[in-house]
Structure 1
Amino acid sequence: MRRLPLLSAVLIIALSFLAVPAGARADLPPQVPGVTLRTYDVQIELSKLCTLKPGQTPNVDKLMPTVDWTSDADFGLTDMFVTEVTGNLSAPAAGTYEFRLTSDDGSRLRIGDTVVIVNDGRHAPTPVDGTITLTAGHHPLRIDHFEHLYGQQLRLEWKPPGAQAFTLVPAEALSTDADVVRVTSPGRKECESGADSPGDGLPLQGVHPDHTLTDLRPAGFEPQVTAMAWLPDDRLAITTWGGSETRLGEVYLLSGVTGATSPARVTYKKIAEGLQEPMGLAYADGKLYVSEKSRLVELNDTNGDDVADDLRTVATWPFGGNFHEFAFGLLYRGGHFYLNLSVAIDYGGATTVPQPAPRPWRHRQDRQEDGETRLSRGRPAHPERHRVGGPGDDLFVLDNQGGWLPASKLVHVEKGRFFNHYTTPEGPFDAGVVSPPVLWLPHNEIANSPSTPLLMKHGRYAGQLLFGDVTYGGIQRAYLEKVNGAYQGAVFRFTQGLEAGGSTGSVSGLTAPSTPAVWARAATGGSRASSRTGCRN
């Protein structure tokens, strides 16, 4: 810190010669100059730094060139907020670096795994200094900060080796990940409290004690999985993302994924490539079908080697080139395909105005026989919805929170219903009465970005729905009942502790064959092929 007793200062100087310099990162993804600023509206008067509950979407998420902020416009909020600053610091040479963090109110600086400065508590703008020995190169940087009331400030300065005075850390010494989608959401965000516990105020931290978890990722195989489908012989087909601006999506067949298995017993074979963000996969009448951004594709193997050498277009739909115009949740039933088309959104999450393609319908039906594409059931919902055959063989969709939705929800799809998402130009149902959902999923409390629901057919949860979550993580369980002809129910935390997606256990989809087990996937960078949760009957 800035002022220390002489004995302590001498001790620190002596120990600094024994310290191991913080190592630089060698595996950075594409970068842009600056840092990422995320601001969370906690709406309570904090007296010290807090730990935010995991899985919450920030109110503000933006790229900033340097850390030197004093205004409401800089932070995006006025009072009672928490700030997270993340990025990478580029050390031009090895040596001892001094840093000065000035803040109103409390703040903390981490570089790599080292806490360099703690400047906590309520106070006016106050500088605190700290020192760290670095190797040359990039080092992860994080600043935590909170604002109580009446003015705010955050400024990061440094004194590199050989410098005589502190100066603002320049943009060229800072970087953050490029080409990220900066999603935000309004409303109050929460800090952890002493009364919170896993499953009661906080996400669960481990696997359900009644289940076993098997990681099925073969060594060296880390696909970014976007969809899964079972073949009659218990092979598992998966699609991979491939990027927003490219046609690098692939399809794999995995064997050895059921029964008493392990990663060493799982084998995989690529059977198709060159697909544009495939997000739906279904097996029907002896063939695999894939939904891309703008079409439904039939995979044909003409020489019996399990590799598709003919990709036949079955149906097409309008596509305006927006990164978010996905085709989700492919389902085959009775000679027809059902899927969901996302509306276009801007970076940050707002619905694009005007929509770049005439996609006013959200739920479509594709006839396998003649490729006819037409409106089938439902009315426009919000981006990122998924369809499943549910209890009573009905259709259900999980709809994500956004511009027209205060929280995510589970809806029962029937002809003539409208689920409260408006577009420009106007959709054909915008004047309709909004249909209530089956379940509301309180935002950031039990859901944030829920994924494809899965109907359980075995065990004590038979007839109930499970669903994962890309942001909140883990698996949740939806209990449904029908009252006076309408579905209603409740939602429960089910399990966490899944490897996919890191500490939150991000789960972008679930599937199950004819056994009491569930296969989970993640579509984030470094995602896993699948994890299997075995459920005891």
Structure 2
Amino acid sequence: MHPRPLHRCRRHLTGLLVSAFLIGAFAASPAAAAPAPRPQDELPPQEPGVTLRVFDVQVPLDKLCDIKTGQTPNVDRLMPGIDWSSSDDFGVDDHFVSEIIANLAVPEDGTYAFRLISDDGSRLRINDSTVIDHDGLHGAEPKDGSVELTAGHHALRIDHFDRTGGQQVTLEWKPPGAAEFAVVPGSVLSTDADVVRVTAPGRKECEGALDSPGDGLPLTEAHPDYALTDLRPAGFEPQVTAMDWLPDGRLAVTTWGGTDNTTGEVYLLDNVQGETDAGKVTAKKVADGLREPMGIKAVDGKLYVSQKHELTELTDADGDDVTDERRTVATWPYGGNFHEFAFGLLYRDGYFYLNLSVAIDLGGATTDPQPAPNRGSTIKVNKETGEVDYVAGGLRTPNGIGWGPEGDMFVLDNQGGWLPSSKLLHIKQDRFFNHYTNPSGPFDDKPVTKPVLWLPQNEIANSPSTPLQLTEGRFAGQMLFGDVTYGGIQRAYLEKVDGEYQGAVFRFTQGLEAGVNRISMGPDGAIYAGGLGAGGNWGQEGKLTYGLQKLSPSR
């Protein structure tokens, strides 16, 4: 296996997310050359402790393995230090792989000796350089290594696996001038603060010797039928939550603004179509102060935005594009939970359509009871009166809504409570999709409607987003959808049997700069992809937390 480089933190990037496992021997490592420290201004906000992620592989290992990318860990915890010796510490009994990620604050220049005690194999890396290689099957044995470090923050990572019996990872050090080894104190360890720690049950997989991109592993590059173009002018770093097209060909984009904030924005982008590049694109901010907007639609000369708590009309009264007036079109039940989003925004025949997600607890369990009623629903809103009607229910995190074959409505719902895997759904009036809440939703007493497609968790989708039907090319009539954490775009082939849709899903493309939260078909026939991610493990591994690119047909 080849090591994967650790990426430096930049703004909210978590630069330590990439899996890095190497195969080695038992000899003690000599002191390595001094790696450069990480300037404080390159670190995102920190909190004391380390991040522990555990992957339940459920097979006996005899050496470290590369965990397949795109898989959600079974355990993701903030731990005070690195000294663990029980299954309660790791959250899994046997047959697991763990990753320990932190920043090490070195007080002074000098030679630092480290001692790694593990059961079974492990590896210590500092700033992407191996300091101790302690791989293989063994009990809780120590192994030492040294490295020259300069004062400042250094990226620290331990990879570890356990087969059966006991499990342990302990990291000790002997700084310059110290006489004995001691457990690395929590006071010099930190990890990214206020991050999203997503977990999922089930077996996780290591890379196999014969796995390759698209055959056992996620794709890595852009589809050969498409040319990839960057669309972000210098300094423009949008965490894209919605896109729509104005009649004059400009692209309207909303940005997230972060959890529990009212800093979402709306931009109008020009020169994105046709032959272009990031240097030709212009971005003009036309609205701000929005509560985590997740949908936008241009209708009759005005922009409409779905915020967490309401549908808002934005009016440019003087023709300079900047919003002068805001009007609340409609509100819906909202209890203030961080997960109560209003996803997407469609419009047809005088009605808007969007999805309301349920409230969840930190860690992913559905909040019981729900702070607001009738969440987990697809709703429609009368443009003129603001009246809200419920279309379908039993949804959890329906971060995607779009039109599909025969003009039907489709939604992508994300896995979690009541959902073993994400799924593509065909929305029709009064349908229920099996996510129950307390109190009951408006359709909880209806028969459960089966999904159009199950999307195998960790294999092809983890956090699917916008569905989009292709109208031209070799895949005309099929649907695409993006994914925030698995990343890239997938392709769904659908057929209708006895009035119900069914089909299959295929990997379509990767190679984009960020996990894909929104896709849109441009007037120029290109597929526009808006990227999004956050700290922790909510975002595509090793990618930016923002992005805007397009895929133009090249053949």
Provide TM-score, normalisation by structure 2. 0.92
Deviation, 1:225, is 1.3
Structure 1 partner of 2:529: 520
Identify which of 447, 453, 461 aligns with 2:475. 461
Q: Secondary structure at the match of 2:330?
A: strand
Q: Does structure 2 conserve the Cα–Cα contact (< 8 Å) formed by 1:2 and 1:128?
A: no
Identify which of 464, 471, 495 aligns with 1:450. 464
Structure 2 partner of 1:378: 392
Structure 2 residue 228 is matched with structure 1 residue 210: no
Structure 1 partner of 2:361: 346
Q: Does structure 2 conserve the Cα–Cα contact (< 8 Å) formed by 1:24 and 1:135?
A: no
Structure 1 residues 310 and 216: alpha-carbon distance in aligned structure 2, compared to 1, 3 A threshold: same
Distance in 2 between residues matched to 1:37 and 1:409, nearest whole Å: 29
> Letter of the aligned partner of 1:37 in structure 2?
L
Q: Does structure 1 conserve the Cα–Cα contact (< 8 Å) formed by 2:25 and 2:135?
A: no
Structure 1 residues 282 and 166: alpha-carbon distance in aligned structure 2, compared to 1, 3 A threshold: same
Structure 1 partner of 2:445: 431
Structure 1 partner of 2:537: none
Distance in 2 between residues matched to 1:393 and 1:40, nearest whole Å: 41
More deviation in 154-163 or 429-438? 429-438
Q: Secondary structure at the match of 2:416?
A: coil
Q: Secondary structure at the match of 2:222?
A: coil
How is 1:372-411 mapped onto 2 (pairs within 5 angstroms)?
372-375=387-390, 377-411=391-425
Deviation, 1:476, is 0.4
How is 1:180-195 mapped onto 2 (pairs within 5 angstroms)?
180-195=195-210
Q: Secondary structure at the match of 1:318?
A: coil
More deviation in 247-256 or 223-232? 223-232
How is 1:171-186 mapped onto 2 (pairs within 5 angstroms)?
171-186=186-201
More deviation in 143-152 or 378-387? 378-387
> Letter of the aligned partner of 1:379 in structure 2?
G
Structure 1 residues 287 and 529: alpha-carbon distance in aligned structure 2, compared to 1, 3 A threshold: farther
Which ranges of structure 1 fall in alignment gaps of 5 or more residues? none
Q: Does structure 1 conserve the Cα–Cα contact (< 8 Å) formed by 2:357 and 2:375?
A: no
Structure 2 partner of 1:495: 509
CA distances 1:132-172 after superposition (whole Å, capped 9, x unpaired):
11111111111110000011111011111111111111111
Q: Does structure 2 conserve the Cα–Cα contact (< 8 Å) formed by 1:386 and 1:399?
A: yes
Deviation, 1:527, is 3.7
Q: Secondary structure at the match of 1:179?
A: coil
Q: Indicate the RMSD between aligned Cα atoms, in angstroms.
A: 1.6
Q: Does structure 2 conserve the Cα–Cα contact (< 8 Å) formed by 1:363 and 1:380?
A: no
Q: Does structure 2 conserve the Cα–Cα contact (< 8 Å) formed by 1:360 and 1:428?
A: no
> Letter of the aligned partner of 1:414 in structure 2?
K
Deviation, 1:456, is 1.1
Aligned length, in residue pairs: 522
Structure 2 partner of 1:23: 37
Deviation, 1:25, is 3.6
How is 1:221-370 mapped onto 2 (pairs within 5 angstroms)?
221-360=236-375, 362-370=377-385
Identify which of 420, 424, 448 aligns with 2:434. 420
> Letter of the aligned partner of 1:381 in structure 2?
L
Structure 1 partner of 2:57: 42
Structure 2 residue 489 is matched with structure 1 residue 475: yes
Distance in 2 between residues matched to 1:275 and 1:448, nearest whole Å: 27
How is 1:81-92 mapped onto 2 (pairs within 5 angstroms)?
81-92=96-107
Q: Does structure 1 conserve the Cα–Cα contact (< 8 Å) formed by 2:244 and 2:252?
A: yes
Distance in 2 between residues matched to 1:246 and 1:401, nearest whole Å: 25
Deviation, 1:293, is 0.7
Which ranges of structure 2 fall in alignment gaps of 5 or more residues? 1-23, 535-543
Q: Does structure 1 conserve the Cα–Cα contact (< 8 Å) formed by 2:464 and 2:481?
A: yes
Distance in 2 between residues matched to 1:452 and 1:224, nearest whole Å: 15
Distance in 2 between residues matched to 1:510 and 1:396, nearest whole Å: 14
Q: Secondary structure at the match of 1:36?
A: strand
> Letter of the aligned partner of 1:488 in structure 2?
Q
Structure 1 partner of 2:517: 508
Distance in 2 between residues matched to 1:347 and 1:114, nearest whole Å: 34
Distance in 2 between residues matched to 1:304 and 1:209, nearest whole Å: 42
Q: Secondary structure at the match of 1:296?
A: strand
Deviation, 1:131, is 0.8
Structure 1 residues 108 and 301: alpha-carbon distance in aligned structure 2, compared to 1, 3 A threshold: same
> Letter of the aligned partner of 2:122 in structure 1?
S
Distance in 2 between residues matched to 1:79 and 1:295, nearest whole Å: 47
Structure 1 partner of 2:548: 530
Structure 2 residue 159 is matched with structure 1 residue 141: no
Q: Does structure 2 conserve the Cα–Cα contact (< 8 Å) formed by 1:224 and 1:528?
A: yes
Provide TM-score, normalisation by structure 1. 0.95
Structure 1 residues 385 and 529: alpha-carbon distance in aligned structure 2, compared to 1, 3 A threshold: closer
CA distances 1:248-277 after superposition (whole Å, capped 9, x unpaired):
111000000001111111001000011010
Deviation, 1:3, is 8.9
> Letter of the aligned partner of 1:535 in structure 2?
P
Deviation, 1:432, is 2.5
Distance in 1 between residues matched to 2:240 and 2:39, nearest whole Å: 26
Deviation, 1:283, is 1.1
State, as a whole percentage, how many aligned pairs show the same letter: 62
CA distances 1:330-370 after superposition (whole Å, capped 9, x unpaired):
11111100000110111111111111112345111110111
Q: Secondary structure at the match of 1:172?
A: helix
Deviation, 1:428, is 2.9
Segments ≥4 residues shifted beyond 6 Å: 1-5
Distance in 2 between residues matched to 1:201 and 1:22, nearest whole Å: 36
More deviation in 109-118 or 45-54? 109-118
Structure 2 partner of 1:78: 93
